[in-house]
Chain A
Amino acid sequence: MADFLSDFAEKFGLMFLGLAAFAVVVGVLLFLADRAPKRGRDVLQLLIFLLPAGILLTVGLIYPAVNTTVLSFFNRNSQEFVGFDNFVWMFTQPSIQITLINTLIWVALVPTLSTIFGLAYAVFIDKSKGEKVLKSLVFMPMAISFVGAGIIWRFMYEYRAEGFSEQIGVLNQIIVWVGGEPQQFLQNSPWNTFFLIIVMVWIQTGFAMVLLSAAIKGVPVEIIEASRLDGANPWQTFWNVTVPGIRSTLVVVVTTISIATLKVFDIVRAMTGGNFDTSVVANEMYTQAFNRGEFGQGSALAVVLFVMVLPIVVYNVRIMRKQKEIR
């Protein structure tokens, strides 16, 4: 206990030191901006406001992105230029091909399913009693870490060989109750990928639901009323009035979840470690670069990940530009 307390004190001391140092740096910068000489004051103030973020982003994201791209053309320890070898390796190695296909399956299924479930739920509970509680239940997984979610679902999928002991996983117990054979959900390829995807859908549905619910409430009641008076049934009203009314939010939801899905790493790491043909690009990149020391191949995978995300960025920037013009 004494060890723990001294450890505790030491670490929190370090934390307050860090916070204080940060406050001093920012404080001095802003003080300088405040006292700048009249001549060139605007430029100086602009620089000071942008500089900290600018330096960090340049050093931490722009330079690394460029550097990784360069490294992807070098061999494992970045000594020798190998051209496109790493990319050729990626597309010819069967295990990596599976990784690429898995990533495509993830990005096709997770945003679609999360959005459908989230939208359906948001519509069903709209204006119902206890809406807040019902929303909390589905939104709660958003607060849980991917690792935590991985553990939660490992217990859902837990397998015990038939006849040796009782099932402790809910899903297998249900299968046994209806007379089936227990399954090794996380090991039977290719279905195990889908069982991992369920975890991500479980997490992201709440996110989709909250945003879409807010958007649905923004659709004017009068228009819905009018369409009902014109004889549209609820389904037609939903499809022709509500959905167009929430289109921009739908775009945001789908793109955000798509990006999160492409980068998914923790779930695979915590549930299968990428074994049994479940790896995805983000996980494989980590395995190659940090577990095997193959920096060239790891970088090439990172580049592929970036290329996969790129169309989504371009699309989003275009939408943002358009919105700016309207404003």
Chain B
Amino acid sequence: MSTSSGTNAGTSTDKVQKAETKLDKPLGQRNKATGGGKAKRVKQRLTSRWATFAAIVIAVVWTIPTFGLLVSSIRTPEEIRTTGWWNIFVSPSFTLENYAEVLTVSGASSANLGQYFVNSLVIAIPAALFPIALATMAAYAFAWIKFKGSGALFVLVFALQIVPLQMALVPLLQIFSGVLGISGTFPAVWIAHTIFGLPLCIFLLHNFISEIPGEVVEAARVDGANHTQIFFRVIIPLSLPALASIGIFQFLWVWNDLLVALVFSGGTADVAPLTQRLAELVGNFGRNTERLPAAAFISLIIPLIVFFSLQRYFVRGLLAGSTKG
């Protein structure tokens, strides 16, 4: 990195910003920071036509599937069933019929996606906020409260990340239906997602929070602040960027989930999310072919908006626990 002050004085926010500039700065600026013309010379020698060609091929191949679905979704049901989406270039046509159909027409045999869309939102917002809040508290305890067995306990939490959800489903379902009696309700889905999200959130947040410089925390302690006060006045403000990025990550994860929803939502139109309804529609593919592209795109809208508008934070969340060391 360009800054070489010699100490690791950067706060976590500082680090994040650095990581971000590393990602986002255009070529010219970056070169200036890393050693001017040298980088340019190296670059020229490394660039080859074949590499550029291969990159374009990968980009096109990776984009075609989604693009094809988007095109399909705006063709008439008749056209979707009988011809390939590329025919739109020969005989252009455009309709929003499919979207209107899957969103607004209600009844036993229709998609009813409007209702499921609301369910997805109602599931995903709390299921993103709960684990973040609890994980921040736990991460703070692991990072800044000294106690016996702290290291071992943290390793245990890290390892829990990898207990397959499949192992937890049956017993947890029994607790929900037998002990708590909340099976098939929103709170059941919230709690399940919170539990499954916690290990990763704790792990990622711990990485940020433990890198807040000791002097800052120490100064607050000397001023007479206790843990709660330090938590609210120092830790949370300094780790806001991390909280945002990991929150976005968790939101997308919950929005896209199918397994937890299948098991804990009870599968009714009252609670089940979009993904579950989509999976059902796919189940009788032949009958729903013409509805699927629009239905799939409705489920993609929120993630894609989140992705394209907050991409920078999303990437930051990914990098949080991984490019270290």
Chain A contacts to B: CB under 8 angstroms = 1, 3-4, 7-8, 11-12, 14-15, 18-19, 22, 26, 30, 33-34, 41-42, 45-46, 48-50, 52-54, 56-57, 59-65, 67-69, 71, 117, 120-121, 123-125, 127-129, 131-132, 134, 136-148, 150-156, 165-170, 173, 202, 205-207, 210-211, 213-215, 217-218, 220-222, 224-225, 228, 234, 237, 248-249, 252-253, 256, 259, 262-263, 265-266, 269-271, 273, 282, 285-286, 289-290, 295, 298-299, 301-303, 305-306, 309-310, 312-313, 316-317, 319-321, 323-324, 326
Pair A57/B318 contact, Cβ less than 8 Å: no
Q: Please, which residues of chain B bring their CB within 8 A of the CB of A60?
A: 168, 172, 191-192, 195-196
B27-71 interface mask toward A, CB cutoff 8 Å, 1 = contact, 0 = none? 100100011001101110111100110110011001111101100
In Å, the complex CA distance between A324 and B152 comes to: 12
Pair A151/B278 contact, Cβ less than 8 Å: yes
Select which of A22, A140, A324 is within 8 A of B130 by beta carbon.
A22
In this complex, what residue of B is CB-closest to A68?
A: B167
Q: Please, which residues of chain A bring their CB within 8 A of the CB of B319?
A: 210-211, 214
**CB of B119 closer than 8 Å to a CB of A:** yes
Complex interface residues of chain B between 188 and 239 (CB less than 8 A to chain A): 190-192, 194-196, 198-199, 202, 226-229, 231-232
In Å, the complex CA distance between A26 and B194 comes to: 14
With A136-B308, A141-B62, A248-B325 already in contact, 15 other A-B pairs whose C-beta atoms are closer than 8 Å = A11-B118, A33-B227, A54-B138, A56-B195, A144-B66, A151-B278, A167-B84, A202-B65, A218-B1, A237-B46, A248-B323, A249-B323, A263-B164, A282-B164, A285-B166
Pair B84/A143 contact, Cβ less than 8 Å: no
In this complex, what residue of A is CB-closest to B40?
A: A127
In Å, the complex CA distance between A269 and B48 comes to: 42
Pair B122/A214 contact, Cβ less than 8 Å: no
Q: Please, which residues of chain B bring their CB within 8 A of the CB of A222?
A: 35, 38
In Å, the complex CA distance between A141 and B303 comes to: 10
Comparing B9-17, B91-99, B279-287, the segment that makes contact with chain A is: B279-287
In Å, the complex CA distance between A69 and B30 comes to: 53
- 7 A-B contacts, Cβ less than 8 Å apart? A45-B228, A140-B62, A141-B62, A152-B69, A154-B285, A168-B82, A205-B62
Select which of A46, A144, A221, A295 is within 8 A of B256 by beta carbon.
A144
Q: Please, which residues of chain A bring their CB within 8 A of the CB of B232?
A: 30
Would you give the shortest CB distance from A226 to chain B, in whole angstroms? 10
Would you give the shortest CB distance from B40 to chain A, in whole angstroms? 9
Contacts A34-B226, A49-B140, A224-B42 given; indicate if A147 touches B282 (C-beta within 8 A). yes
Pair B278/A49 contact, Cβ less than 8 Å: no
In Å, the complex CA distance between A12 and B121 comes to: 9
Chain B interface extent, by class: 35 or more
In this complex, what residue of A is CB-closest to B232?
A: A30
Q: Please, which residues of chain B bring their CB within 8 A of the CB of A142?
A: 307
In this complex, what residue of A is CB-closest to B174?
A: A67
In Å, the complex CA distance between A323 and B325 comes to: 7
Select which of A42, A120, A150, A302 is within 8 A of B164 by beta carbon.
A302
Pair B125/A309 contact, Cβ less than 8 Å: no
**CB of B259 closer than 8 Å to a CB of A:** yes
**CB of B186 closer than 8 Å to a CB of A:** yes
In Å, the complex CA distance between A167 and B84 comes to: 6
